[in-house]
Structures are given as C-alpha cells and as structure tokens.
C-alpha cells in the first residue's frame, strides 16, 4: 500500500456546517475503506491547514479518485502528498549514483 498525506482546509460551506464534520469524516473513512484504503491518522490542526490526515491506498488512482470525491462534496479543499516510508526513502537514496 502507498501512503499519502492529505492537507485540508474547510470551505465556507464546510465551516458553516462544521458540527457535521465528524459524520463527514466517518463517511470518508468508509468510502476509503470501500476502495481498499485506510486512514491511519487524522489531526485537527492550527495554522495553515484545518485538518491533516495520513492514509494508505492501494495505488495512486485510488488516492486520486478518493481525493476528488472529497472535493466534489464541497466541504474541503485538499492537497495530497505521496509519502515514502523510511525504508523506501533509504532505498531511493542508496540507488543514487
């Protein structure tokens, strides 16, 4: 499974209905699970982003589709980062010539 970091900011709509956010998160977790993925961590944050999540998905296509589905709901704007775990990081660095 590939790992992804999801950076999210609430839209005006998302903030207006922020009390519904936990239910939306539960729905997002189910949608990702139905695609073969899983949330590992979700954080409410202070600063440049409102929420940050770490999740795994079977491949980039699943991650892209999942992120677009979140955006289509209109409650968050997202940025997704593909994350390489330490073992992969070390392997990549070791292959440098």
pLDDT in tens, 24-55: 999 999 999 999 999 999 999 999 999 999 99
Phi (first) and psi of residue 59, to 5 degrees: -165, 175
pLDDT at site 29: 98
CA dist 6 and 56 (Å) reads 11
pLDDT at site 59: 97
pLDDT at site 94: 97
pLDDT tens-digit map of 46-91: 999 999 999 999 999 999 999 999 999 999 999 999 999 999 999 9
Phi (first) and psi of residue 43, to 5 degrees: -125, 135
CA distances from 60 to 18, 41, 42, 82 (A): 29, 19, 20, 8
Two tokens at 27?
């729905």
């Amino acid at each position: 499974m590939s790992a992804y970091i999801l950076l999210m900011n609430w839209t005006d709509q998302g903030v207006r209905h922020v009390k519904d956010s936990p239910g939306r998160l539960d729905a997002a977790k189910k949608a990702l699970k139905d695609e073969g993925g899983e949330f590992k961590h979700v954080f409410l944050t202070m600063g440049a982003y409102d929420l940050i999540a770490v999740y795994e998905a079977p491949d980039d296509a699943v991650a892209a589709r999942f992120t677009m589905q979140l955006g289509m709901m209109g409650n968050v704007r997202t940025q997704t980062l593909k994350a390489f775990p330490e073992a992969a990081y070390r392997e990549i660095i070791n292959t440098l010539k």
